[in-house]
Structure 1
Amino acid sequence: MKPATGKLIISIILDLLDFTIGRIPGLEMVVDGLLGVAAVVMWGWPGLIAFWEIADPTGQVDAFVPTLTLLALSQMRKEKSARPDR
């Protein structure tokens, strides 16, 4: 398995956790913060985009946007376009 594919799988799992556990009142900000840190660890500076979820204090709206998955797909596409075709 390629490292980017593994990161995509992890991103999907974390977004599912955000959709479930991240909707519990009181935990939404903690989950959003942890997901932001995970995004930065996996994707570097582009991972800072994941911290937009903290802007929603209710935790309800951001749970429906799979931020980490979208970030993973965009970074995979960027890496693919940077490699020369064989």
Structure 2
Amino acid sequence: MTHDLVVIGGGPGGYVAAIRAAQLGMKVAIVEKEDRFGGTCLRVGCIPSKALLESSHKYELACGELAQHGVVIGGVSLDLDTMM
């Protein structure tokens, strides 16, 4: 099999380059050591950590800030498995 481009790494730079090359008509292969594309930022770094920050803000809102406006919520708890 012949390829016009072989991209090493399926992280944010690699998969974007591969997609663009394919859009331009190239036959592209990606070599990735992990079982999925996306890299650290997409899978365990930037994006998941931002989702956890958003969840923690919602928890803080439910536990305290809403009470300042007369909204009292009882039994608020964290389900870390779902958050992850």
Larger RCO of the pair (alpha carbons < 8 Å, separation 6+): 1
The structure that is strand-richer by fraction is 2
Kindly name which structure, 1 or 2, has the bigger radius of gyration based on alpha carbons: 2
TM range (shorter): 0.3 to 0.5
The structure that is helix-richer by fraction is 1
TM-score with structure 2 setting the length: 0.33
